[in-house]
Amino acid sequence: MPSDRDSSFSASYDSTTKIISAVVLVLFLGIVAATHSVVAGCLTALIVVGAYAWSPRGYREAGKFVVEVREKWSGPGPRSGGSGGSVTLVSR
């Protein structure tokens, strides 16, 4: 029996993701410190902020779609789990 109520699920980072993220950030900061490059610093900041904004924060069931909830964008995807479907990102 279908429910009219939407279901939400959080997507928290696991310890492996946190460790890998920290190691990559330290490597980027090491490159910036070694090169004393403003370009490398800006690229590092852009990558870190972009990765954070683009990563899913949770999922929400909405009818026949599963909506990925992101920091700045949310987008519906087909519920079937099939590949090849496009995801449209929309502002919250």
pLDDT at residue 80, rounded to an integer: 46
The count of C-alpha atoms lying within 13 angstroms of the C-alpha of 89, restricted to the half-sphere facing its C-beta, is 9
- Are 58 and 70 within 8 A, CB to CB? no
pLDDT at residue 27, rounded to an integer: 92
DSSP structural state of residue 13:
P
pLDDT digits (tens, 9 = 90+) for 31-79: 999 999 999 999 999 988 888 877 878 888 877 777 777 776 555 554 4
What does the pLDDT average to over 10-30? 88
Residue labelled with tokens 């949770």: 58
Q: Does residue 91 sit in helix, strand or coil?
A: strand
**Residue 6 reports pLDDT greater than 70:** no
Indicate the range of 16-20, 49-53, 56-60, 86-90 predicted with least confidence.
86-90
